[in-house]
């Protein structure tokens, strides 16, 4: 069942098109993420749903009701902000009680409900504190409690972990994920952090230049990117230009600058220009005598150790740089041999039609 | 980017202002203290004791506090909406409005007080208009009303600025958050915006109150006999009775009243943590 339905939403600022005819459905109970670089329109979209920005055209439906011209306060949503937006002069208790007071709840009901949600986010002992007496992570948990307490149909989260350091961010990611699955709330989440999006979401909407670049599960987006942008935004990619040449047995053959590339068969016709994408983690250095469907020789020009993995930059004999990534080895590999042979399996060659 | 400066350099930078402050402020204030405790060079507290038993002084003292309190409350009540309005304007128009708030500073308080005589007087614009419409005219000058109009006109910018600074420092997301939670504009104002401006309001109060304690031209020109304030009393002692000892004692009490008030208010409001 759809909680939110956007129909042909556009937003123009003068000549600049922030959102270009966007359709979108948020299903009840799902965790949907708007992912994209800054300026892609994800925050504009969130603010349009919240009612803080009026769309230039299109309609917004929440629970089947057209709310396009309804003010923010009548839309019955919840929102979590990057800077927490807790009322600095109110205690944690009063902050969480605020939406209930707006709804004129009875005093004893307020006390029970607030205690209940504070217990859920493990902050019951902090009820009397002022926000500035809490850490960033705790403040954001208060902000989340403030949303949960009045059970809005949809909770909007605008880069809620953006102001936290890495460890806290992962901890709170886990917490948000837990609340989502335990309470069955519907969350529309905005982030530019691909790892966060992959870790949390049921579905991801990848946005670029005010349009939906690709919509799908995290798995889909990562393993079946439909555009070069998607491939490059989620994870790392080697992008190579090639032309579809034909078939050889099970494999499709493409001709590129680095020579023949083998992939699994696609529906792209022979002679068509295509873009080939290979993930660095799918390429590896080949031992002598080892063979893969795609093989290439080159010089190792740079090795970067990034903790869990080591990245190798290989310059092929026809001047293409290919990046590969391997799980880091506690024993450093011999750096002496500059000449390397690298390869990847045909099923790891992603072929995209050119200009998509 | 902080570079150390030598002793000689700091002397050169701060010397002039120190000299002016010593000669133009500390020395005269010192003289006033000296005068208030001496008559013809002999130490005495007679100046103070006679003031505290003088019905004139006591009445003037209370009148001064009363007028100052009313003037600063009215300035804040009138100035707050102005500050709120300006804070909600787009940034590019804000400076234009600020210039308008500062307009009154372009003329001296003396000139403005005379202007109010013309506007508010018996034959003034307002009363003439009321008469022309066949309505009851009323006295707006040489009474408390005239003093309050004149003083609030002068004080409003001093109320607007601290409140505006405070409003502009508030996090706009608080209002967004409250709106998403369903709060209407009135509730947002009274539960969030207004409480958060408490430090700004108390700063505005201190500023306007202390400034009005020293009002001289306004009560002299727009007030009646019952609206005499401390500064007018000092003028009376120095010019009409040539009692420099009493005049100095009034000045010292005025100074101490302002000082006590500043300390009290800063204690009460604390150094209010900004939002």
Stretch(es) of chain B classified as CATH 1.10.3720.10: 48-268
Q: Are residues A179 and A292 in the same domain?
A: no
Q: Are residues A43 and A76 in the same domain?
A: yes
| Neighbouring residues of B154: CB distance < 8 A, sequence distance ≥ 6 | B104, B109, B112, B211, B218
**Above 90 in pLDDT, residue A269?**
no
Q: Give the end of a domain, one of A182, A201, A233.
A: A233
CATH (domain of A16): 3.40.50.300
Q: Which of chain B's residues have a Cβ under 8 Å away from the Cβ of A132?
A: 273
Q: Are residues A254 and A154 in the same domain?
A: no
Q: Is B181 within 8 Å of A87 when comparing Cβ atoms?
A: no
- Round to whole Å and give the CA distance between B190 and B175: 12
| Neighbouring residues of B261: CB distance < 8 A, sequence distance ≥ 6 | B206, B209, B210
Per DSSP, B191 falls in state I
Q: Are residues A58 and A108 in the same domain?
A: yes
Q: Of all helices (H) and strands (E), which one includes residue B42?
A: strand B42-43
Least confident of A85-99, B110-124, B173-187, B235-249: B110-124
pLDDT at A336: 60
Which of B177, B187, B195 has the CB atom closest to A85's CB atom?
B177
Q: Give the end of a domain, one of A212, A233, A254.
A: A233
pLDDT at A334: 59
Q: Give the end of a domain, one of A216, A233, A250.
A: A233
Q: Which of chain B's residues have a Cβ under 8 Å away from the Cβ of A113?
A: none
Q: Which residue has the higher pLDDT, B237 or B274?
A: B237
Percent of chain A with pLDDT over 70: 97
Q: Is B180 within 8 Å of A102 when comparing Cβ atoms?
A: no
Q: Are residues A169 and A257 in the same domain?
A: no
Mean pLDDT over B133-157 rounds to 90
CA of B179, closest CA in chain A: separation in Å?
5
Which of A83, A98, A146 has the CB atom closest to B173's CB atom?
A83
- Round to whole Å and give the CA distance between B200 and B162: 5
CA of A147, closest CA in chain B: separation in Å?
8
**Above 60 in pLDDT, residue B116?**
yes
pLDDT at B274: 41
Q: Are residues A302 and A332 in the same domain?
A: yes
Q: Are residues A257 and A156 in the same domain?
A: no
Q: Are residues A96 and A214 in the same domain?
A: yes
**Above 60 in pLDDT, residue B82?**
yes
Q: Are residues A147 and A45 in the same domain?
A: yes
pLDDT digits (tens, 9 = 90+) for A204-236: 999 999 999 999 999 999 999 999 999 999 988
**Closest Cα in chain B to A131:** B275
User: Rounded to two decimals, what is the model's pTM?
Assistant: 0.83
Which of A224, A179, A185, A183 lies closest to A204 in space, CA to CA?
A224
Domains of chain A: total: 2
Q: Are residues A216 and A302 in the same domain?
A: no
Average pLDDT, chain A: 92
Q: Are residues A200 and A272 in the same domain?
A: no
Structural fold of domain B48-268: MetI-like fold (1.10.3720)
Which of B182, B195, B196 has the CB atom closest to A99's CB atom?
B182
First-to-last C-alpha distance (Å) of chain A: 31
Q: Which residue has the higher pLDDT, A336 or B244?
A: B244
pLDDT at A355: 64
Which of B176, B181, B195 has the CB atom closest to A99's CB atom?
B181
pLDDT at B269: 65
| Domain boundaries, position A118 | 2-233
**Closest Cα in chain A to B172:** A85
Q: Is A81 within 8 Å of B173 when comparing Cβ atoms?
A: yes
pLDDT at B270: 56
pLDDT grade, residue A330 (50/70/90)?
low
- Round to whole Å and give the CA distance between B168 and B174: 13
Q: Are residues A259 and A308 in the same domain?
A: yes
CATH (domain of A250): 2.40.50.140
pLDDT digits (tens, 9 = 90+) for A161-184: 998 998 899 999 999 999 999 999
Average pLDDT, chain B: 90
Q: Is B183 within 8 Å of A87 when comparing Cβ atoms?
A: no
Token pair in block for residue A160: 């809620």
Q: Is B273 within 8 Å of A88 when comparing Cβ atoms?
A: yes
Q: Are A102 and B182 in contact (CB under 8 A)?
A: yes
């Amino acid at each position: 069942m759809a909680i939110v339905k956007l129909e042909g939403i556009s937003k123009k600022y003068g000549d600049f098109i922030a959102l270009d005819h966007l359709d979108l459905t948020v299903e009840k109970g799902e965790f949907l993420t708007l992912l994209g670089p800054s300026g892609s329109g994800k925050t504009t979209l969130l603010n349009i749903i919240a009612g803080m920005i009026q769309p230039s055209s299109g309609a917004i439906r929440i629970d089947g009701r057209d709310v396009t011209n309804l003010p923010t306060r009548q839309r019955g949503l919840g929102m979590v902000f990057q800077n927490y937006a807790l009322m600095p002069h109110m205690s944690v208790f009063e902050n969480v009680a605020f939406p209930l007071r707006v709804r004129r709840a009875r005093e004893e009901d307020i006390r029970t409900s607030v205690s209940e949600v504070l217990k859920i986010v493990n902050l019951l002992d902090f009820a009397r504190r002022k926000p500035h007496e809490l850490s960033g992570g705790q403040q954001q948990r208060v902000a989340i409690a403030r949303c949960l307490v009045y059970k809005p149909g949809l909770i909007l989260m605008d880069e809620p972990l953006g102001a936290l350091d890495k460890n806290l961010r992962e901890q709170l990611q886990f917490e948000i994920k837990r609340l989502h699955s335990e309470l069955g709330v519907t969350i529309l989440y905005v982030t530019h952090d691909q790892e966060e999006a992959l870790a949390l979401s049921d579905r991801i909407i990848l946005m670029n230049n005010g349009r939906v670049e690709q919509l799908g599960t995290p798995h889909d987006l990562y393993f079946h990117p439909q555009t070069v942008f998607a491939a490059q935004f989620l994870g790392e990619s080697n992008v190579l230009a090639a032309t579809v040449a034909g078939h050889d047995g099970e494999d499709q053959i493409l001709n590129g600058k680095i020579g023949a590339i083998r992939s699994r068969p696609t529906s792209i016709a022979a002679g068509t220009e295509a873009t080939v994408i290979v993930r660095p983690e799918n390429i590896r250095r080949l031992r002598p005598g080892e063979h893969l469907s795609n093989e290439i020789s080159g010089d190792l020009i740079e090795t970067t150790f990034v903790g869990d993995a080591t990245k190798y930059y290989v310059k092929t004999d026809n001047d293409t740089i290919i990046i590969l990534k391997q799980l880091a080895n506690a024993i450093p590999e011999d750096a002496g041999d500059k000449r390397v042979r690298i390869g990847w399996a045909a099923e790891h060659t992603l072929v995209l039609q050119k200009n998509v | 980017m902080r570079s150390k400066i030598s002793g000689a350099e700091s002397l050169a930078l701060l010397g002039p202002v120190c000299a002016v402050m010593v000669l133009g402020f500390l020395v005269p204030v010192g003289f006033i203290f000296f005068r208030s405790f001496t008559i013809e060079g002999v130490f005495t507290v007679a100046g103070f004791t006679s003031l505290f038993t003088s019905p004139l002084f006591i009445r003037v003292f209370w009148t001064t506090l009363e007028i100052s309190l009313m003037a600063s409350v009215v300035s804040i009540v009138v100035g707050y909406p102005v500050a709120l309005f300006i804070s909600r304007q787009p940034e590019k128009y804000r400076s234009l409005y600020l210039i308008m708030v500062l307009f009154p500073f372009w003329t001296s308080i003396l000139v403005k007080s005379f202007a109010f005589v013309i506007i508010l007087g018996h034959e003034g614009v307002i009363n003439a208009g009321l008469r022309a419409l066949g309505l009851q005219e009323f006295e707006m000058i040489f009474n408390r009303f005239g003093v309050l109009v004149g003083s609030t006109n002068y004080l409003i910018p001093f109320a607007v600025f601290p409140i505006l600074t405070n409003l502009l420092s508030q996090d706009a997301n608080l209002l967004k958050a409250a709106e998403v939670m369903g709060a209407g504009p009135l509730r947002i104002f009274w539960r969030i915006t207004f409480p958060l401006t408490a430090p700004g309001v108390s700063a505005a109060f201190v500023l306007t109150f202390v400034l009005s304690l020293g009002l001289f031209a306004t009560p002299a020109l727009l007030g009646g006999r019952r609206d005499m304030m401390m500064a007018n009393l000092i003028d009376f002692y120095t010019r009409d009775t040539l009692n420099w000892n009493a005049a100095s004692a009034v000045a010292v009490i005025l100074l101490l009243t302002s000082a006590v008030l500043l300390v009290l208010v800063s204690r009460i409001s604390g150094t209010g943590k900004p939002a």
